[in-house]
Structure 1
Amino acid sequence: MSIVVVGADHLGGIEKNLYSLGVTEITHVSARKSLTRSKLKLPKATALVLVLTDYVNHGTAAHVKFVAKAQDIPLVYAKRSWSSVEEKLNACHFFDVT
């Protein structure tokens, strides 16, 4: 399963925890530069888009939402902490997180 993470410069422990849940590929887009935001392309095999809200502005979040909806890819917003990411993934029942 492949996911795209948008936001933050470094994922820290989030990356390791996502791999432990069965994710096979993580594509990380820091979205710091406006060029990156405007040219955001989601791979066809993407199963989920995770937006780390602490590190993206409203314009970037809106663009990511537009692109994900156009490709019918589930979208999750969370803060950049594993507890927040885990809570949001539990809420959407995407992973069987315990």
Structure 2
Amino acid sequence: MSIVIVGADYLGGIEKNLYAKGVKELIHITGRKAANRNKINIPKHTSFVLVLTDFVNHNTAKMIKTAAKTQEVPLVFAKRSWGAVEKQLLDAGVINA
């Protein structure tokens, strides 16, 4: 399973926990710099996109949402805490308990 995470400068334990849940490849885009926001690219083999809402502005979230819909990639929004991320991923059916 390959995922793209948008938001936050540092993922902390989220990265480790995602690898434990079966993620093989993780691409992290901070979304902080305008140059990076304009070049957001979702690889074709991506299983889902995770947007950390407390670290992304509205315009960046809108751009990610549009890109994910265009490529028909599942999109999950969550706060930057493992509890919130895990709950949203389980609710979306992206990962199993």
TM-score (norm 1): 0.97
Structure 1 counterpart of 2:24, one-letter code: T
**What are the ranges of 5 or more consecutive residues in structure 1 without an aligned counterpart?**
none
Deviations 1:35-60 (A, max 9, x none): 11111011111010000001000000
Q: Which residue of 1 aligns with 2:86?
A: 86
Indicate the RMSD between aligned Cα atoms, in angstroms. 0.5
Q: Which residue of 2 aligns with 1:6?
A: 6
Deviations 1:22-47 (A, max 9, x none): 00000000000011111101111101
CA distance in 1, matches of 2:29, 2:12: 14
CA distance in 1, matches of 2:90, 2:48: 14
**What are the ranges of 5 or more consecutive residues in structure 2 without an aligned counterpart?**
none
CA distance in 1, matches of 2:66, 2:9: 22
Structure 1 counterpart of 2:92, one-letter code: C
CA distance in 2, matches of 1:5, 1:85: 11
Q: Could you list the structure 1 runs, at least 4 aligned residues long, displaced by more than 4 angstroms after superposition.
A: none
TM-score (norm 2): 0.98
Aligned residues: 97
> Offset of 1:93 from its aligned partner?
1.2
